[in-house]
Amino acid sequence: MEPFLIPFIVLLVVAVGVLFRAIRVVPQASAVIVERFGRYTRTLNAGLHLLTPFMDNVRNRIDLREQVVPFPPQPVITQDNLVVNIDTVIYYQVTDARAATYEVASFIQAIEQLTVTTLRNIIGSMDLEFTLTSREVINAGLRGVLDEATGKWGIRVNRVELKAIDPPTSIQDSMEKQMRAERDKRAAVLTAEGQRQAAILRAEGEKQAAVLSAEGEAQAAVLKADGEAAAIRTVFEAIHDGEVDQKLLAYQYLQTLPQLAQGDANKLWIIPNEVGDALRGIGAAFGTMADAPPPAARLPVSGGSPPDTPSGDHRAIEPEPEPEPEPE
């Protein structure tokens, strides 16, 4: 290698190094703080930038995306003097890279300490039961305080979430017993409600069945009455259309007499007047009963005295007296 090439190579290497330091590529969603002789000069956004060699210096690179920072559990005393451990998660985003670099030494640590202090102030004014059921209220209170305090740091707190609220072990046992008793009570209420509904449905079914049965019996009675009326009407028309004589009526009376004696409670028969007339008609027709006396007025089935003569179409038939002999 020629001696005059050595300085040229050295100069080339130095120029490449200087050019490498002068060119700065900033990725998307990032910001770079540039200082000149230790003093803030400008903020570089995403893209290609040129720096003045040996004069400009990159102080800090800030991520502008939303960040999620979980904080370890913090013991907090409630208003009723119970210690609970609370886990929190902070969602924040840097809006001003210059303020986040120069206004606070470590904004992550500052946010953590501010969160713990604010959380103790809020929980200290609540009892345990209200603390366990009011996460939204606690989140809103934390976000308001943090957003106000971190605004001058160039940071915006988007959300504050409570991951867990752990009460003492003794309180957890009491809460489990209370929940178990509440579930047993709810189960008993649901069982009683189910039994009541079942009883109501059963009563409704029995009621509908009774109504339908009564309606069926009523319809059956109506149909039976209609049938009997039609039968009587048919018999009546047949009798009048057929011009029934005395012999047929007497025969029908004789067919009906056995039915009058049916039943164990029958003590006495009451024979209509027409029976005697019919029998006399039959006797006159056949020539065998012309002089026969009419049947007895009372035909007792068993012992006992005959009742009084009833009123109406039927009356007791007394035996006719023997005719007196005509004088010669």
Distances (CA, A) of 292 to 183, 254, 320: 99, 17, 10
Q: How far apart are CA 196 and CA 296, in angstroms?
A: 71
Q: How far apart are CA 80 and CA 46, in angstroms?
A: 53
Alpha helices by DSSP H, the chain: 5-22, 97-102, 107-123, 128-132, 135-150, 169-242, 246-260, 273-286
Predicted TM-score (pTM) of the model is 0.49
Contacts of 78 (CB under 8 A, 6+ apart): 84, 123, 124, 126, 127, 128, 131
- Read off the pLDDT of residues 222-277 as tens digits, 9 standing for 90 and up: 888 888 888 888 877 777 776 666 666 666 666 776 766 666 665 666 666 666 66
Average pLDDT, the chain: 77
Q: How far apart are CA 159 and CA 217, in angstroms?
A: 76
Q: Which residue has the higher pLDDT, 302 or 163?
A: 163
Please state, as a whole number, how many other Cβ atoms lie within 10 Å of the Cβ of residue 78. Answer: 20
- Indicate if the pLDDT at residue 322 is higher than 60: no
Distances (CA, A) of 242 to 236, 249, 275: 10, 12, 20
Q: What are phi and psi of 75, to 5 degrees?
A: -75, 130
In the chain, the amino acid numbered 196 is R
At how many degrees (to 10) do helices 135-150 and 107-123 cross? 140
Residue 266 three-state SS: coil
pLDDT at site 59: 87
Distances (CA, A) of 230 to 87, 223, 235: 94, 10, 9
pLDDT at site 307: 44
Please say whether the dihedral angle defined by the alpha carbons of residues 164, 167, 169 and 171, taken in this order, is positive or negative.
negative
- Read off the pLDDT of residues 26-53 as tens digits, 9 standing for 90 and up: 899 899 999 998 899 999 998 888 888 8
What DSSP string runs through 68-123? EEEEEEEEEE-TTS-EEEEEEEEEEEES-HHHHHHT-S-HHHHHHHHHHHHHHHHH
pLDDT at site 319: 45
Query: How would you classify the pairing of strands 30-36 and 23-26?
Result: unpaired
- Indicate if the pLDDT at residue 17 is higher than 60: yes
Beta-bridge partners for 26: 47
Lowest mean pLDDT among 120-129, 164-173, 226-235: 164-173
Lowest mean pLDDT among 67-81, 96-110, 130-144, 304-318: 304-318
Name the residue among 278, 285, 210, 200 with its Cα closest to residue 244: 278
Q: How far apart are CA 284 and CA 199, in angstroms?
A: 76
Residue 49 three-state SS: strand
Residue pair 266/303 in contact by the 8 Å Cβ criterion: no
- Read off the pLDDT of residues 181-199 as tens digits, 9 standing for 90 and up: 888 898 999 999 999 999 9
- For residue 174 the two structure tokens come to 């009491």
